[in-house]
Structure 1
Amino acid sequence: MKLYQKLRTAVPRLVLSQEDEEEEEEEEEDADTPTPTGHSRLAPWWVGSGLLLSAVLLSAVTVWVLRQVSGGWHGPAPPSQCHQVPESHRFDCYPERSVVVTRELCEGRGCCFVETPPAVGGTRGVPWCFYPPDFPSYALQSLNQTALGMAGLLVRREKAYYPRDIGVLRLDVELETDTRLHVKITDAANPRYEVPLDVPRAKKRAENPIYSLDFSKDPFGLLLRRRDTGTVLLNTTVAPLIFADQFLQISTALPSRFLYGLGEHRSTLLHSLDWSTLTLWARDVSPTESFNLYGAHPFYLLLEEGGDAHGVFLLNSNAMEVALQPAPALTWRTIGGVLDFYIFLGPDPNAVIQQYQEVIGFPAMPPLWALGFHLCRWGYGSSNETWQTVRAMRNFQIPQDAQWNDIDYMDGYRDFTFDAQKFASLPSLVEDLHKHGQHYVMILDPGISSTSPRGSYWPFDEGLRRGLFINTTQGQPLIGQVWPGYTAFADFSNVDTRQWWLENLQRFHAHVPFDGVWIDMNEPSNFMDGSEEGCPPGELDSPPYTPAVLGDSLSAKTVCASAKQSASVHYNLHNLYGLMEAEATASALIQIRGKRPFVISRSTFPSQGRYSGHWLGDNRSQWKDMYYSIPGMLSFSLFGIPLVGADICGFSGSTSEELCTRWMQLGAFYPFSRNHNSQNEKAQDPTVFSPAARTAMKDVLLTRYSLLPFLYTLFHRAHVHGDTVARPLFFEFPQDTVTYGLDRQFLWGRSLLVTPVLEPGVDSVMGYFPRGVWYDFYTGSSVNSSGEMLKLSAPLEHLNLHLREGSILPTQKPGPTSKASRGNPLRLIVALSPGATAWGDLFWDDGESLDTFERGSYSYLVFNATENVFTSSVLHTSTEAASTTIGTLSIYGVREPPHKVLLNGQEKPFSYLDNQVLTVSGLGMGLGQAFSLQWL
């Protein structure tokens, strides 16, 4: 209590708010004057954040007071300070994993050392070496008004412990919109590497921001609050800011424990804050818990108490880790670039993701056929064997839009070739696919063979002549090893490489007219560490601090960090490699085919949705892998890459019939749906299983194809508005805390709830139904939930799907391909709310042309139901709508049997079932025709 009283009477006016800029000069004069009790500008922080009082007293925001108590900074922290810091609020001062941290090493950094072995009650993961409350940091020396916000200087008076500590930093704060804030911290004197992402700049300062921003002067810190609730979203005063040449660190308190995003990792959707560390460094490795995987997405979404949400994006492509701890708090550590943050205020989860995509770019509109079913395996062995699989799918009338080939189609695993013996009929196969309204996709790797046993190999020879490969520090092509043997790696940061890549694709397309490209191994993957000559000594390949990357080295199974690329060193560009290849590939496909490109990439980075989709990598044929695909899919929805899915039935290992049947049911509701497996394993396409399993797989694919108009409309909304396609339940029910950790179910849009079976040997599944009326998709029978977990019947042939009250879904009679389905009549399913209202929409175009929305070559319909009247309103129409009709209207939740149904005033026959489903068939209304239907 004595310390608290001292805090209340001794805290100086440390904090400047964004409204105080004009008064700053006066405040500089008063900087050392204590604020009267009851008027501390810090009070809202500890009240609004929900942190314990003890945490507040001992957090870094009380540095000024504790310095007075302890007599200022003087080397190792006093033990009395150290032991008072609660375990959950100990910020790691010695995160190096290659070192056994001793008291001597820890105190050499001026930090606290307190051993907390689990055997005597310490929590596993609590750092033994942590920052004392008065550890030196930067001070805010000046703060001036700019057109968009504020700019200032941060000065460090004492050197930090990493080499080339930067003493003076520039702070730029831009109030870009009422819901978006941009904060950038960089070297004030020397330019540093920044990610070349084309971010739209605000033209004027936000006029009515829903946030307020305060600054702690010494130590420097940001305190960002939500105006209407007072919730503190960011508080960076809890640990010191460190900004050295190759070590940047900043921490923040969090207002809750409900944290999502920060990919790519195999984990639950809701992250654990129990001392976990998430590393972001693109790596080729089968998805495994705790490993850094294929992509890097330094973005998180956090649900606040009460259901509001905000997001934080760190625009930085260097190797990075994010340390989470139960305070709750988060620490960013990166080893290069700048601290360039965008903060999105929502206030609901959907709005956060839309605002994030306003910065990184909205995803591309995929061609319709991309949303059909895709089939692939590594190990078909020949084009004839591939063709036999396609014919078998047709014979059983199982829907399929695309056939793929893995690397075995190539001649010696070399890009832009095909095996003239085993795959001699590949051109004929592709021609046959096109005749049947199907498409062909082949794999490409960025490793270009540097040794051809048969003489010249144009992709390498020409790339070498033009200087288009990643080079060593000596200026020679860096040679690693991938599938074809020794390889050079295309430098996609070089604009000339895009032209060479296009020419390679054009040459191959002349022989094999492919429709899409699967870009794999683009972390980039390397079977060697670094190169055939290793990596040179130096601080790029062996930095002062290495994040917790798999292999404990930046060059583990990839190229040297010191390798030279056109735009920068690979140290800065590694995490961008897949993005740059995807952009080059999408651009080439547009030039070759003149239609929307279809690209699926393994490695990804923010903004990749503009160019490609993603599959979740080389998973295994195991039940847990099927489960983990759901949080993986939902995370990529948060990252702005809605075209995402996992290898259905698993890639490595042999599946069982039960596992594959259940996985096909789940995979039919991945936005990107592909069955793919490895060589030397049992085939797992639907045709190889028993009649019962094959029928179950066929039925669920027919269900997917019936829903293509709805799915396609969701992708349109993603493309234009930044909506998610596959969506966590908490997006729609942020007030319902039960939904916060749910990742065994998901939604398509706001309307369709998918509850898959994820365990063997069961014929039922538990599913959570938020408050409201939910209708069985197939029958229209309803359940009125108060927000409860329900047991659902789930025999092997059944996938549970439910419609949310108040929604209208456009569906279509399914055909064997999306092209065949397009010509069939639509059926609209209306799921009435208790107030007998519903809403839905439909986007319709030719399914493949470029920029149809931008050019106005589309139809857009809005459907409404209210007071026993359904209306179809045509907001925009084009000639594409002329050949498509709405044939049937099914209305779920009609409580009273109608005695008459009128279509545009004319009586129509109808049926009504006891489960309160009204169906009217034979409507024959064209998409370009507005109409109304009334039931009396």
Structure 2
Amino acid sequence: MKSYQKLTQPSACRLEEEGAAPAPTGHGKLAPCWVGSGLLVAAVLLSAITVWVLQQVSVGWPRPTLPPKCLLVPESHRFDCYPERHVVVTQQLCESRGCCFIESPPPAAGKRGVPWCFYPPDFPSYTLESLNETALGMVGLLVRREKAYYPRDIEMLRLDVEFETDTRLHIKITDAANPRYEVPLEVPRATKKAENPIYSLDFSWDPFGVVLRRRATGMVLLNTTVAPLIFADQFLQISTSLPSKFLYGLGEHRGPLLHSMDWSTLTLCSLSPITSSFNAMEVALQPQYQQVIGFPAMPPFWALGFHLCRWGYGSSNETWQTVRAMRNYQIPQDAQWNDIDYMDGYRDFTFDSQKFASLPSLVEDLHKHGQHYVMILDPGISSTDPNGSYWPFDEGLRRGLFLNTTQGQTLIGQVWPGFTAFADFSNPDTHQWWLENLQRFHAHVPFDGLWIDMNEPSNFMDGSEEGCPPGELDSPPYTPAVLGDSLSAKTVCASAKQKASVHYNLHNLYGLMEAKATASALIQIWGKRPFVISRSTFPSQGRYSGHWLGDNRSQWKDMYYSIPGLLSFSLFGIPLVGADICGFSGSTSEELCTRWMQLGAFYPFARNHNTQNEKAQDPTVFSPAARTAMKNVLLTRYSLLPFLYTLFHRAHLQGDTVARPLFFEFPQDVTTLGLDRQFLWGRSLLVTPVLDPGVDSVTGYVPRGTWYDFYTVRSTAALGRDPCPKPCVVPLTPSYLYLLLPAQGSSMNSSGEMVKMSAPLDHLNLHIREGAILPTQKPGTTSEATRRNPLCLIVTLSSSDTAWGDLFWDDGESLDTFEQGSYSYVVFNVTQVGCSGEGRGATEVTIGTLTSCFPHPQFYLISGLPSPQSQLLNLSCSISALI
């Protein structure tokens, strides 16, 4: 793939199946994506900005008589010199650019194949004219002696290299003569040069290139000498070879987690490549990346419960009926959502006074039952209401807070309410206006979270009601493979004016800026952690919102694709992620929805959502057997909320993943590198869903070691029962009580192999890794009720009789509890001589060793009743405690 103008990160603006037609996003509308200007290349150890994906292809094919220099270029290093689409590249066209032309075998279906037109070894590029030391690294001057084939190529470039840390290097290339727009990301700035970097950097002076190596092994991580650097006004190209065939982390495409290396071309709104080789240190890349973009926010505890929505609730009463049905069947639910149905004429900050007259009462009822309400908002503001009748537009127009045309008039497009203006979130004044709108609406409908949709921004028109003006912003010399082959297709004009710059530069940032404004507004409204789910994303989005994977289909293939999607966004630093459970468009089946509810119960963000004019798919509408299976798997999720919450704490604190691919934990196991039909919660809980119809078993990979069946551990040691032959109950505080409970359950001793597992329709396979300690609770039907129930630790001993786990606990909603010290955190350890727990808090209590109560158990449950006011920390174990 190629990245043009700026190298960024994933967005939901355009999702494609690799090798397939684009899939719909946003109520059946294809969301637009393209890139702006500016170049930022950050080379982080163990990773590289990857601009071309290559693979050696060995074929026999007759070759014409060619210049020797062209024959010197192996197929693996043939970088496309004519990437324009919809052009039949002839030898004459190719050679007019000074490039080589060699016909290759026809590519496989859906693939580009080896480029016929490629750069020769002596293609004119930049020369590194000077390189001088600075306090943080080096600064250099790059000069191009000959013009490239793209118009307005830049003659002189500035090279800045900063050795920021021992594991992070920052390389930046900019126009040396003219300031250009740069993405305003808040990234850490080094104050001193790294003293002992574990990487080395070498330069090729003519032609210019950089080679980044791992110092210990000499492995090349980044090599830009393989093709010329192109830096024109509206076309940027930097190329590298890869040290591994395993490439992950390129967003915006529905397909396998491991990307094809067979000459694939991927068009992105943004870029965040993650490469992995057979080195365990590769796992450290994830927190390194998030150190640059910022760690994700800690979500409120209730956000980890089950969410229910659909586009097509005809009224607030119909919505309420669904909530009541969920309660009647005692199916866990934390949040009820409404799509655009609730609005008056699809206008933001309104609700239909006829069909949704009881909406305020519904929200009040949800709150009385410990539940929450989430509503949708779009950035398109209705512009056709009579003057003075619609405050959001009137006030936004008065303050000049909308995108403008090149002539300075409000740009008008079309979204759900009809003709609309688009909020300019690059303007700080817009954030205040957004807050005021939300405050006004919250006074009538006290919502708890927001779903921001259509925020690429999406537009039912191309550009505006008047189209887009001629010019190179809207019609650049090179147009990537975007929707409609136009930057304005189903979005606004690239030339539209915003406070910070032209939309050409800000398009990819639109969703991030709206999420930032929304999160800030919610904090100001109720002074607690905000809950925001956004469709469009950008690097650092996890600091402000979660993400759902866009509109999918009620198909088995889409259910499978959701796993690579959520794992990719985990890599991107957006751990609060999930797909529309049971599918958005199309009609689901009972079998598909049951299996999808089982999988979706282990999405970090779990929401069932579907479109209008399709049958309902919430758990209450299915047969008793299916309904019970869905209920049980949600109860399982709720029992694991303390574990899940602790994983989010680790993500917030140090950038760990919540849902993670198996290769993160087993990087030396080559088999795990291609697995994307299973995943882990943290390091300890293996999820193996059924992804195919009509089966009662599933084959999954079980990495080396002992793995315990989650359900038999739970069922043979029920919470609250004391099976000890003598008392082994020790009070920690008046509000905490721990019980040591032995349990017997099935286990698998794997050498690292595929295992066929029984999987009837009512069963999801879950396995706990040896050496783990998982905090759980007896589940309630809401997260609030669950938090009042007994706490339980599941302990699975390793072969050396050790185990480790941790628990983070706070009030679940206050801001910055960790930063302010208003929390409890315990690290539990079990060793051959006993157990211990270390943490931060005011209470220290000695309890008995596990082995003093049970001779040779393999795993245990430790339970107790938590109190929000208590602090559970600094546990130590001694054998004398129970004597």
TM value normalised by structure 1:
0.82
Alignment of 1:414-429 (within 5 A): 414-429=347-362
1:753 aligns with 2:686: yes
- The offset of 1:509, in angstroms, is 0.2
What is the match of residue 667 of structure 1?
600
1:904 aligns with 2:818: no
What is the match of residue 15 of structure 2?
none
Task: Give the 3 Å change call, closer, same or farther, for CA 906–112 of structure 1 in structure 2.
Answer: closer
What is the match of residue 302 of structure 1?
275
CA distance in 2, matches of 1:120, 1:739: 27
- The offset of 1:121, in angstroms, is 14
Provide the secondary structure at the position in 2 that maps to 1:773.
strand
Task: Give the 3 Å change call, closer, same or farther, for CA 228–690 of structure 1 in structure 2.
Answer: same
Q: Which AA in structure 2 matches 1:719?
A: H
Identity of aligned residues (%): 81
CA distance in 2, matches of 1:522, 1:52: 36
Superposed CA deviations along residues 654-705 of structure 1, whole A, max 9, x for unmatched, are 1000000000000000000000000110100000000000000000000000
CA distance in 2, matches of 1:871, 1:702: 29
Provide the secondary structure at the position in 2 that maps to 1:460.
helix
What is the match of residue 250 of structure 2?
262
CA distance in 2, matches of 1:921, 1:362: 32
Task: Give the 3 Å change call, closer, same or farther, for CA 906–586 of structure 1 in structure 2.
Answer: closer
Task: Give the 3 Å change call, closer, same or farther, for CA 164–763 of structure 1 in structure 2.
Answer: same
Provide the secondary structure at the position in 1 that maps to 2:286.
helix
CA distance in 2, matches of 1:53, 1:159: 31
- The offset of 1:920, in angstroms, is 6.3
Provide the secondary structure at the position in 2 that maps to 1:274.
coil
Q: Which AA in structure 2 matches 1:462?
A: E
Q: Which AA in structure 2 matches 1:845?
A: D
Task: Give the 3 Å change call, closer, same or farther, for CA 431–610 of structure 1 in structure 2.
Answer: same
Work out whether residues 794 and 861 of structure 2, in 8 Å CA contact, stay in contact via their aligned partners in 1. no
Work out whether residues 444 and 517 of structure 1, in 8 Å CA contact, stay in contact via their aligned partners in 2. yes
What is the match of residue 716 of structure 2?
none
Task: Give the 3 Å change call, closer, same or farther, for CA 911–380 of structure 1 in structure 2.
Answer: farther
Work out whether residues 792 and 861 of structure 2, in 8 Å CA contact, stay in contact via their aligned partners in 1. no
CA distance in 2, matches of 1:417, 1:539: 39
Work out whether residues 714 and 725 of structure 1, in 8 Å CA contact, stay in contact via their aligned partners in 2. yes
Q: Which AA in structure 2 matches 1:871?
A: S
Superposed CA deviations along residues 101-151 of structure 1, whole A, max 9, x for unmatched, are 111111110001112242999995211111011111101100000000000
The structure 1 residue matched to 2:137, chosen from 135, 149, 157, is 149
CA distance in 2, matches of 1:657, 1:91: 49
What is the match of residue 688 of structure 1?
621
Q: Which AA in structure 2 matches 1:302?
A: T
The structure 1 residue matched to 2:465, chosen from 514, 532, 537, is 532
The structure 1 residue matched to 2:776, chosen from 801, 811, 835, is 811
- The offset of 1:87, in angstroms, is 2.1
The structure 2 residue matched to 1:202, chosen from 190, 210, 222, is 190
Alignment of 1:735-884 (within 5 A): 735-779=668-712, 780-867=745-832, 869-876=834-841
Q: Which AA in structure 1 matches 2:308?
A: L
CA distance in 1, matches of 2:852, 2:395: 69
1:378 aligns with 2:273: no
- The offset of 1:79, in angstroms, is 2.4
What is the match of residue 714 of structure 1?
647
Q: Which AA in structure 1 matches 2:796?
A: A
- The offset of 1:918, in angstroms, is 4.8
What is the match of residue 389 of structure 1?
322
What is the match of residue 639 of structure 1?
572
Superposed CA deviations along residues 742-801 of structure 1, whole A, max 9, x for unmatched, are 000000011111000000000000110111111111113211111100000000000001
Q: Which AA in structure 2 matches 1:157?
A: R
Deviates further, 464-473 or 902-911: 902-911
- The offset of 1:928, in angstroms, is 2.4
What is the match of residue 547 of structure 2?
614
Task: Give the 3 Å change call, closer, same or farther, for CA 173–609 of structure 1 in structure 2.
Answer: same
CA distance in 1, matches of 2:560, 2:338: 26
What is the match of residue 928 of structure 1?
872
Task: Give the 3 Å change call, closer, same or farther, for CA 861–81 of structure 1 in structure 2.
Answer: same
CA distance in 1, matches of 2:294, 2:586: 37
- The offset of 1:547, in angstroms, is 1.1
CA distance in 2, matches of 1:199, 1:468: 27
- The offset of 1:348, in angstroms, is 2.5
What is the match of residue 165 of structure 1?
153
1:229 aligns with 2:217: yes
Task: Give the 3 Å change call, closer, same or farther, for CA 431–119 of structure 1 in structure 2.
Answer: closer
Work out whether residues 160 and 172 of structure 2, in 8 Å CA contact, stay in contact via their aligned partners in 1. yes
Runs (5+) with no aligned partner, structure 1 = 1-50, 56-76, 282-295, 309-346, 887-901
CA distance in 2, matches of 1:480, 1:922: 57
The structure 2 residue matched to 1:431, chosen from 364, 380, 384, is 364
Alignment of 1:85-96 (within 5 A): 85-96=73-84
The structure showing larger relative contact order (alpha-carbon pairs under 8 Å, at least 6 residues apart) is 2
Alignment of 1:718-733 (within 5 A): 718-733=651-666
Alignment of 1:49-88 (within 5 A): 79-88=67-76
Task: Give the 3 Å change call, closer, same or farther, for CA 426–52 of structure 1 in structure 2.
Answer: closer
CA distance in 2, matches of 1:537, 1:260: 38
Q: Which AA in structure 2 matches 1:217?
A: W
Provide the secondary structure at the position in 2 that maps to 1:830.
strand
Work out whether residues 911 and 919 of structure 1, in 8 Å CA contact, stay in contact via their aligned partners in 2. no
The structure 2 residue matched to 1:400, chosen from 333, 342, 345, is 333
Q: Which AA in structure 1 matches 2:104?
A: T
Superposed CA deviations along residues 203-227 of structure 1, whole A, max 9, x for unmatched, are 1000000000000010100000001
Deviates further, 257-266 or 814-823: 257-266
Q: Which AA in structure 2 matches 1:757?
A: V
- The offset of 1:98, in angstroms, is 2.8
Task: Give the 3 Å change call, closer, same or farther, for CA 108–662 of structure 1 in structure 2.
Answer: same
Work out whether residues 862 and 875 of structure 1, in 8 Å CA contact, stay in contact via their aligned partners in 2. no
Work out whether residues 860 and 877 of structure 1, in 8 Å CA contact, stay in contact via their aligned partners in 2. no
- The offset of 1:413, in angstroms, is 0.2
CA distance in 2, matches of 1:905, 1:259: 46
Work out whether residues 69 and 120 of structure 2, in 8 Å CA contact, stay in contact via their aligned partners in 1. yes
Work out whether residues 911 and 918 of structure 1, in 8 Å CA contact, stay in contact via their aligned partners in 2. no
- The offset of 1:435, in angstroms, is 0.3
Q: Which AA in structure 2 matches 1:574?
A: H
- The offset of 1:550, in angstroms, is 2.0
- The offset of 1:904, in angstroms, is 3.4
CA distance in 2, matches of 1:84, 1:922: 71
Work out whether residues 858 and 877 of structure 1, in 8 Å CA contact, stay in contact via their aligned partners in 2. no
Superposed CA deviations along residues 273-307 of structure 1, whole A, max 9, x for unmatched, are 111112123xxxxxxxxxxxxxx3x1111112x32
- The offset of 1:500, in angstroms, is 0.3
TM value normalised by structure 2:
0.86
The structure 2 residue matched to 1:543, chosen from 476, 494, 512, is 476
Alignment of 1:525-604 (within 5 A): 525-604=458-537
Superposed CA deviations along residues 794-826 of structure 1, whole A, max 9, x for unmatched, are 000000011111110000000010001111111
Alignment of 1:160-199 (within 5 A): 160-199=148-187
Task: Give the 3 Å change call, closer, same or farther, for CA 207–761 of structure 1 in structure 2.
Answer: same
Task: Give the 3 Å change call, closer, same or farther, for CA 536–923 of structure 1 in structure 2.
Answer: closer
Task: Give the 3 Å change call, closer, same or farther, for CA 123–54 of structure 1 in structure 2.
Answer: closer
RMSD of the TM alignment (CA)? 2.4
- The offset of 1:927, in angstroms, is 5.3
CA distance in 2, matches of 1:111, 1:924: 70
Q: Which AA in structure 1 matches 2:218?
A: G
The structure 1 residue matched to 2:400, chosen from 467, 473, 492, is 467
- The offset of 1:86, in angstroms, is 2.3
CA distance in 1, matches of 2:333, 2:415: 31
Task: Give the 3 Å change call, closer, same or farther, for CA 598–231 of structure 1 in structure 2.
Answer: same
Task: Give the 3 Å change call, closer, same or farther, for CA 172–564 of structure 1 in structure 2.
Answer: same
Q: Which AA in structure 2 matches 1:828?
A: L
1:238 aligns with 2:171: no
Q: Which AA in structure 2 matches 1:348?
A: E
